[in-house]
Chains A and B, each alone.
Chain A
Amino acid sequence: MLLSNRSVVLSLTVILAAALARSALAFTAAPSAATLRSVISSTATTRSSLFLSSEDFTQETPEATKERIEALIENHPVLLFMKGSKLFPQCGFSNTASQILNSFNIDYHTVDVLSDEAIRQGIKDYSQWPTIPQLYVCGEFIGGSDIMIEMYQTGELGEMIEKAKADMI
């Protein structure tokens, strides 16, 4: 921990030194803590203006969220709204759902609702379904992980996925 802190300070010092050199202030031998803090805070400001935070999505109107959801459903023949990602599911039920889809060897799309608050609520309203995960195949709402397990076992889900594969080509 100490080591990594030191290396962060070191790299910041390098950045700072470059900045100082540019502004012809290279004679300032050691940067003060206050200067370092200002560099750190300006870096942080840049980050937050470059990337969308979850707050940006909560300000979206319900209509705009619905349009985003509809575009996702239209563009992805096999679409899973889940908590986390395929590689790092953040919920056991979402993990079950993605494991089932993995077994079909298809390139399905996922939406992480934990990183998108508007969709997290919006998809529940859109599907009239209270829980996550939610699976859409060829624009049709299939259900959550319980239903996926059931339809996987009966072979129905496999048939649907085969049809979706044809859509992907």
Chain B
Amino acid sequence: MTDHALMSWLPPLAPAAPAWLATLQAAARAQVQTQIAAPDAEAWRYTSLNHLLEQGFVPIDETITALQPDDLDEVLIAGLDSRRVVFVNGRYAPELSATEALPPGVHLDSLRELLAHDPDAVRALLPAESATLPLFMALNVAGLDDGLVLRLDRAAILAQPLELIHLSIGLDQPSVAQPHHLIVLGDGAQATLVERYVSLGAAVYCTNAVIEIQLGRDAVLTHERLQTESKNAFHLSGLSLRQGANSRYQSVNLGLGSRWSRTELLTEFCAAHAECDLRGLYLAGDEQRIDYHLDVNHAVPNCTSRETFKGIIYGKGRAVFDGRVVVAKDAQKSDAAMSNQNLLLSPQAEIDTKPQLEINADDVKCSHGTTVGQIEPEKLFYLRSRGISAALARRMLCLGFADEIIHTLHSETLREHLSEQVGQRLESAPWD
């Protein structure tokens, strides 16, 4: 079992690791082994791991220092007003980051450094015992290395968005990076986080990121996750969100890039009157596999969640949407609405969607709606009757479909940038 391809993703345990961390990692490792031995067939019903495992990814214990700030130019979004933290192949790159003059009460650290200098601070942020995690999130914890630690004290406000850039460059050997980020907002704190996944070059590599977020009472986090990696990239990311009373979490998840990707979003309401809004847009073009899993837990009463995901699948693209809303016993007055709409544009495109509700309380308002369809001929004709070519009309209609998600991004610059990205990808989409 130890020679399973996934076990080789794990670096040897750091000898200097504090005992509590070693215990946590050993527990995560045990979870990985259990799940490899008895895979969760339902969780992997529509996605095969073979392609990922064949790549023989290994962790590389190396901090890339050769990059200069201008190497970033091609990945930065012109005009986006932000501070930024850059991770290169999973390691913090201070020379590429720009985090000057943080407002009072905002603390930003590298996990690796914080572990070295103040391990107890990290311990306070991690869950006391490791919960049962999906396979790759457990694998990430078992291989904990570096990541961003962002802490906002009570009532602290990070008005300017923080860009968290995962920059990946290919190495001689196909490598896997497993950054682990911890974001903690104290009571009443507010922040906007733009999490980006980008590639330099087109090498084959894998990112397996985890981001853990805790929101205090009344905290507000806007979280935009933009995955635009190269078509050779393998992408895994897991979000674990815990929300305090009356907190608000709004996220936009855009999955446009990578050859093979899987995203797990696990959210839990820990106290009443919290709101969680998860939006997503995925584009699966030629040979792309894109896989979203949502697990939204209404563990306590009086919380509201919205899950709105849209997909455009073309060429030989394949997408999976597996969304689950669970309302716990006694979580009365829960309000959840999940929607998943898909445009299937070509004969070899595939979509598998599984929107689930698990309701254990009666005074709830829960719904889900799913559609799979294509561009409506009436709309196409309307545009063509106004002189617009069929190809442009299709693209316009796809962009219109995507706009419901894109327009919720916090900045005009981002909205334009992403519309353009979607438009470009659709331009090369085969329509038949």
A and B from one assembly? no
Residues of A within 8 A of B (CB): none
Q: Which residues of B contact A (CB under 8 A)?
A: none
